[in-house]
Amino acid sequence: MQRKRTLALLLVLCLSLLTVTACGSSSSPASSASPAPAASSSPSQAASSEAQPAPAAPAEKPKVTLWTTGSQNLSDLFTAAINEYNALPDAKCTMELQFLMSGTGDTLLYDRLAAAFKSNQKDAGFDIIAENSTALFNYEAVAGSTDLFLPVDFSKIPNYANVQVETAFHKEKSVPYRITTVVFAYDEERLPNPPKTWDELTQWIKDNPGRFAYNSPSTGGAGGGFVQTSVYRHIDKSAWTSSDPKWVEQWETGFNWLKEIHPYLYQSGGSVVYPNKNQGTLDLLINKEVDMIPAWADQIMSNMAAGTLPPTTKMYQLSDGALNGTDVVFTFPSVGSHQEEAYDFVNFMLSPRGQQLCLETIYAVPVIDISTIDSPAKAAVESLDISNMSVIALGELGAQLNDKWDAEIATLK
């Protein structure tokens, strides 16, 4: 009897301990979700619980936290780059990575920044953000202020002088470090003479029903880029980086074209389908169900390197309007700190070695003269002409465009 009671008491104790620990572990992501409380204590400590293990560094080096979001390959890139940078004897700071896998928490990065900004944080642990320049307008929109990002003192980033790319985001506030673009991809063996212009593309799609596909725009940037370019190539360039609703009425020409090609696109089970996610159309190209798709250049190159796409796969742009791409930049939120030390890491990423890392880990198009980089992976990127890449940043109109596509294109029989 007595023993039973002691046993029961012990059980209760164990259970309540479990609750406490369970609460503890469940609250750690929550604390990073709301940077405000984390900031009041010690930002670097709060961040380090999730960050990559960094090599031991002398205590006087400040910790600088880099936040980014994307697919797994981005995490691989920055893990490699940060490990190499931290091992440098003259590194001015110890870098740490906070990575949000896209599709799991990426909508929260700008929410987190906005929350920290609106509560007037000065040291919330968001020291550097690496993000597509076209996405950054959204960050400002959510935060409700153009003061979210700090101006950059370019004189403290010597390698910036070699950068040949102009950003789509505020020039004085961002440092581009790579370029990513949507291209048309096809297999040379099956399609020796790909269409050269948009008109030829229209004709080719109609002549070859079921051999072209793009993924539904809200599920991946390749299809999203294709739809945006299709719509905006008919509209004045000043609309391309505008979130002004007045441009919506000019979408019709582009949407009529999307409706026109709809019946000739990839079919399965007797009806036209738009695969979900970038991988969906890639799979169709890999399995030879279609001959041409819009796709991210780096994903095509990764698949070629892995052997899932044949070496005869080619990427190109139409001569009268390239698909859209974006430069990817480092920015320095006003809710972060250690900007001076962060410049040193950014400078490293702009060095030939840093650019080589980007090229070899994720097939990123470099922002510096490619001849200064020594890498066997160079050939794949060199063929990409990014000079006429279109940069489209719609901000909040992007969701409206997807809504319209869902309502008018996805519902077509």
Partner 1 sequence: MTKKTWKTYLLIAAMLLPSLILALGIILTPMISVVIQSFQDENGNFSLEQYRFLFTDRMALDNLWYTVWITIVTVIGAIAISYLLALYLRFCDTKISKFISTLYLLPRFVPQLVAIYAMMTVVRDSGLLNRISQLFGYNFKPGLLYNAKGIIMMNLWFNIAFATMIIVAALAGIPDSIVESSRDVGAGKIHTFFKMILPLSFKDVMIAMTFIFMSNISSFTTPYIIGPNHPKLLGVYLRDQFSRMRYERAAAISVLIFAFSSISAVVYLYTNLKEKEWEKTGL
**Would you say 185 and 296 are in contact if contact means Cβ atoms under 8 Å apart?**
no
As a whole number of angstroms, the distance between CA 314 and CA 383 comes to 9
**Tokens matching residue 286:** 């890999």
Cα 313 to the center of its chain, rounded Å: 24
- Among residues 106, 54, 116, which one has the least CA distance to residue 85? 54
Does 24 interact with partner 1 (rule: CB under 8 A)?
no
As a whole number of angstroms, the distance between CA 379 and CA 61 comes to 38
Does 271 interact with partner 1 (rule: CB under 8 A)?
yes
Does 10 interact with partner 1 (rule: CB under 8 A)?
no
Stretch touching partner 1 by CB under 8 A, among 71-79, 250-258, 336-344, 398-406:
398-406
Those residues whose C-beta lies under 8 Å from the C-beta of residue 301, and which sit 6 or more positions away, are 363, 377, 380, 381
Does 277 interact with partner 1 (rule: CB under 8 A)?
yes
**Tokens matching residue 82:** 């940060």
Does 216 interact with partner 1 (rule: CB under 8 A)?
yes
Stretch touching partner 1 by CB under 8 A, among 5-13, 62-70, 295-303, 321-329:
5-13
Residue 398 CB, shortest distance to partner 1, in Å, is 8
The correct pick among 6, 7, 10, 12 for binding partner 1 (CB under 8 A) is: 12
The correct pick among 57, 150, 377, 410 for binding partner 1 (CB under 8 A) is: 410
Instruction: Return the HEC string of 220-263.
Output: CHHHHHHHHHHHHCCCCHHHCCCCCHHHHHHHHHHHHHHHHHHH
User: Scanning residues 134 to 153, which ones bind partner 1 (CB under 8 A)?
Assistant: 142
Does 273 interact with partner 1 (rule: CB under 8 A)?
yes
Does 269 interact with partner 1 (rule: CB under 8 A)?
yes
Q: Decide the pairing of beta strands 128-132 and 63-70.
A: parallel
The correct pick among 151, 253, 288, 388 for binding partner 1 (CB under 8 A) is: 288
Does 235 interact with partner 1 (rule: CB under 8 A)?
no
Does 307 interact with partner 1 (rule: CB under 8 A)?
no
Does 2 interact with partner 1 (rule: CB under 8 A)?
no
Q: Where in 320-405 does DSSP place strands (E)?
A: 325-331
Does 406 interact with partner 1 (rule: CB under 8 A)?
yes
- Radius of gyration from C-alpha coordinates of the chain: 24
Distances (CA, A) of 360 to 222, 307, 355, 379, 389: 21, 16, 9, 11, 22
The correct pick among 2, 3, 24, 26 for binding partner 1 (CB under 8 A) is: 26
The correct pick among 22, 88, 101, 305 for binding partner 1 (CB under 8 A) is: 22
The correct pick among 52, 162, 218, 308 for binding partner 1 (CB under 8 A) is: 218
- Among residues 56, 94, 101, 95, which one has the least CA distance to residue 76? 101
Stretch touching partner 1 by CB under 8 A, among 1-9, 161-169, 256-264, 316-324:
1-9
Residue 290 CB, shortest distance to partner 1, in Å, is 10
The residues of the shown chain that bind partner 1, judged by CB under 8 A, are 1, 5, 8-9, 11-12, 15-16, 18-19, 22-23, 26, 107, 142, 216, 218, 268-271, 273-277, 283, 287-289, 399, 402-403, 406-407, 409-411
